[in-house]
Chains A and B, each alone.
Chain A
Amino acid sequence: MIDVLWLVIALPLVGSTINLFFGKRIGQPLAGWVAFGFVALAWLVALPATFSLIDGSIPVETSYLFTWIPVVGADVALLWDPLSALMTMIVTGIGSLIHLYSIGYMRGDERYPRFFSFMNLFIASMMILVLSANYAMMFIGWELVGLSSYLLISFWFTKPAAAAAGKKAFIVNRIGDWGFLVALMIIFASFGTFDFQTIFASAPVVITVGTATAITLLLFVGAAGKSAQIPLYVWLPDAMEGPTPVSALIHAATMVTAGVFMIARSAVLFEMAPTTGAIVAVVGTLTALVAALIAVSQTDIKKVLAYSTISQLGYMVLAMGVGAYTAGIFHLTTHAFFKALLFLGAGSVIHAMAGDQDMRTMGGLRKKMPITFITMGAGWLALSGVFPFSGFWSKDEILAATFAKGGWYIGLWVIGLLVALLTAFYMTRLFVMTFLGKPRWEDGVHPHESPATMTIPLIILGLFTVSFGLVNTPALVAFEHFLEGSFQYVHHVQGLSMGAIIGLATIALIVAIAGIVWGWLKYHRSELPAEDGKFWRRSRDAFGVDEFYGRTIVEPGKKASEWAADVFDVKVLDGIAHGIGSGTRGFGDVLARLQTGQVRAYAGGVAIAGVLLIIVFLAVGGGF
C-alpha cells in the first residue's frame, strides 16, 4: 500500500508540468480543474494508507525509492508514520479544497494556468518535506516550499509591493535556512548519517546534551524562519500581498507549520536539550503575545488573519517547547482547518467587495453573503476557543500542558491566557466589523455571494472546524493515541488529573467568552469606536519592528553592499586586475626596446652570446 506513496509527490508535479507547458492551451477554467484533479488524486492515493495506519493494519514503514547520496545515508525514501500521514492528509486535503476555491477566485487572471502550476508545485514540495525519511531530503523539500512560496507571494509581480514581499519572505527565510543547514552539518558530523530512524534510535547514546542543545537551537532558527517566530516573523504579514488562496494554503494552513512539523519530527533531539525547550517555549509565548497585540488594531482583514496566524503558530511552538508534541500537532491540524476557512472566507469577502480589504468600509455583509457569514462564524468561534469548536480543544490542551510543567511555566500559561483573551477580542472585532452592523460600503460596490466552487470548500472546512476537535478530548484521546507511533522515543509526562483539566478548560473558556463580550460591546454599535491613543497607534505600525530592522539591519547591510560595490570592488579588486594588466604592459614596453628591427643587432647579440658560451664551456670544462 505504501509502495504507491511516491505518487503523492509525483501527481502534483505532473499537474504542475502540464499547466506550465500546456496551461494556456487548456484555458480557463479547465486548467484549474486539471490542477485540482491532480491534488485530489494525490489525496485519494494517500487515503487508504492513512486508514491502514489508523486501524493499525500496517506498521510504520519506510518506502525506499532509490539511492541518492549513499555516503551520507541519504536515500530517496518516504517515511510513512502517523505524523507524515497526518501532514499528508492536511496538505493534500485542504490543498485540494483551496485549489477548488481558486478555480473561481482566480477566474479572469491572465496568468491563471501559471498560478495553478505554482500551486501544484507547492503541494509536491510540501509532500517531499513531510514524507522524507532523512534530513537531507527534508531540506530539499524545505527549500522547494520556500521557492514556491516566493513564486506565489510575488505572483502579481507587477505590483511593487508584491514583488518586495516575495523577496522579503525569501531573504528572511534564508536566515532560518542557514540555521537549519548548520544543524544538518552538526548532525552529520555527530551521527554520520541523515536517516531519521537511525538518528532517533541512537541519539541518547551518540551525542551529549551539549551537542543536542547546539543542534536543536540551530534547528529552531530554521523553524523560526519558516514558522514565523520572533525575530523572523516579519515576512508573513507582507506575504499577504499574494492572492488570498495562497495566503490560506501556504501562509496559514500548511507551509508555515513546516517549522512546527520539523521540531515535532526531531522531538527526540529536543527532548535531550531542556535548555532549548525553555527557549522555544518562551519565544513561542512572546510571539503569540506580540502578534496578538498587533492583530487587535489592524484594519486590513487579511493582516488581522496574518498576525493571528503568527500568534497561533506561537502557541504551537510553545507546545513544542514544553514537550507537548501531540497537543502542538493537534493545534496545527485544527488551526489548518479554521485558518484556511477564515482566509478563504476573507477572500470571499474581498471578492464581494471588489478587491477592497479594509474592514472599515465593510459591515453588514451578513444578509448579502449568508454562506460566507455562517462558515466564517464557525471559524471565528473556533479561533476564539469557544466550546465545542475545534480550536477550544487544541488550544486548551497546549495551555494545560504548559500549566502542568509548573514552576515559571505558570507565567507562560498566564500569558497564554492573555493571548486567548486578545484572540477572542480581535476575532470578534473582525467578525463584527465585517458582517454585522450597518453597511459602510463605498459607492459602486455591490456585494454578492461567491460562486459554488468557492462556497463548497468553505462549507467542508466549516464542518471540520466545528467537529474535528472532538477526535481529541480529555475523554477520547484518539488523536494522541494515533500520533504515539511517531513519538515512540519520546518520554511522555501526563501530570494532570481529570478535575484539573476540566478546571483549566473552564478558565480558558471563561477568558475566551470574556474576550468575545469585550469585543462585542466595543464594536457592535452604530458607529465604529475611534481607535486612538498611544497603544493603538503603535500597534497599527506593528510596534515599528520593520522600521527597527530597516534601521539596524537593512540600512547597514545596504551601506556595506554599497561600500563593497563602489569602494572595494572598484578600488581593490579592479585595482588588482588593472595593476596586473598595466604591469605586464610596462614590462613589455621595456623589453620591446631590445627589438630594434635591425637584423645586424640581432646577429651581434647572437655572436656575443656565442662567444660568451664558448668562454663558459671552456671555463667549466677546465680548458683554461
Chain B
Amino acid sequence: MTVTVSWFLVLAAGLFSIGVAGVLIRRNALVMFMSIELMLNAVNLTFVAVSKELGLIEGQVAALFVMVVAAAEVTIGLAIIVSVFRDRSSANVDELAELKG
C-alpha cells in the first residue's frame, strides 16, 4: 500500500473541515483562533503535497507565504484577544456584538 497524493488531500480536507467546525461551533476566541491555524495548515499541506506530486516549486513558495502571514496574524490576533480579555475578563465571541447593525 503506497501513500499517494490522495491521502494527503483527504487528510488536508479533514483537517480543514475540523477547523471550519471549530470556528463555527466554539465560542472561545482563542479556540476559534487555533481552528483558523488548523485551516491554514490544512491548506499548507495541500500546497506542499500537490507541489511534490506535480514537481512544481510554486506550491512550496505559497506554503512559505501562508506561514509568514499566519505568523503575523497570530501576533495581531493574540494581541487583540488579550486586550479584549483584559477589558471584559472573557473571550466569548458571542458577547462581542458591538458592531450589530
Contact = CB atoms under 8 A, between A and B. Distances in A.
A595 B101 contact: yes
Interface string A582-624: 0000000001111111111001100100000000000000000
A595 B99 CA distance: 8
Contacts of A592: 101
A569 B95 CA distance: 49
B87 interface: no
A607 B20 contact: yes
Contacts of A600: 23-24, 27, 32, 93-94
B24 A604 contact: yes
A502 to B, nearest CB: 100
A593 B100 CA distance: 8
Interface string B21-33: 0011001000010
B57 interface: no
B100 A597 contact: yes
Given A604-B24, A607-B20, A607-B24, A599 B101 contact: no
A598 B20 CA distance: 16
7 contacts: A596-B100, A597-B97, A597-B98, A598-B100, A599-B93, A600-B93, A603-B24
Nearest to A603: B23
Nearest to A593: B101
B96 interface: yes
Contacts of A594: 101
A603 to B, nearest CB: 5
A595 B100 contact: yes
Given A598-B94, A603-B23, 4 more contacts: A595-B100, A597-B101, A598-B97, A600-B24
Contacts of A607: 20, 23-24
Interface in B31-57: 32
Range class of the A interface residue count? 10 to 19
A593 B101 CA distance: 6
B92 to A, nearest CB: 11
Contacts of B97: 596-598
A618 to B, nearest CB: 14
B37 to A, nearest CB: 14
Nearest to B26: A600
Interface residues of B, number: 13
Interface of B: 20, 23-24, 27, 32, 93-94, 96-101
B52 to A, nearest CB: 23
A598 B93 contact: yes
Contacts of B27: 600
Nearest to B27: A600
Contacts of B23: 600, 603, 607
Contacts of A596: 97, 100-101
A56 to B, nearest CB: 90
Nearest to B97: A597
Contacts of A595: 99-101
Nearest to B93: A599
A604 B98 CA distance: 19
Nearest to B25: A600
Contacts of B24: 600, 603-604, 607
Nearest to B99: A597
Contacts of A599: 32, 93, 96
Nearest to A591: B101
Nearest to A611: B20
A598 B96 CA distance: 7
A593 B99 CA distance: 11
A405 B97 CA distance: 97
A491 to B, nearest CB: 84
Interface string A64-75: 000000000000
Contacts of A591: 101
From A591, A600, A604, A607, name the one whose CB has the most chain B CB atoms within 10 angstroms.
Answer: A600
B31 to A, nearest CB: 12
Nearest to B36: A603
B96 A597 contact: yes
Contacts of B99: 595, 597
Contacts of A604: 24
A599 B23 CA distance: 9
A591 B101 CA distance: 8
A29 to B, nearest CB: 76
Contacts of B96: 597, 599
B99 to A, nearest CB: 5
A591 B100 CA distance: 11
Contacts of A597: 96-101
A596 B24 CA distance: 15
Contacts of A603: 23-24
A599 B96 CA distance: 8
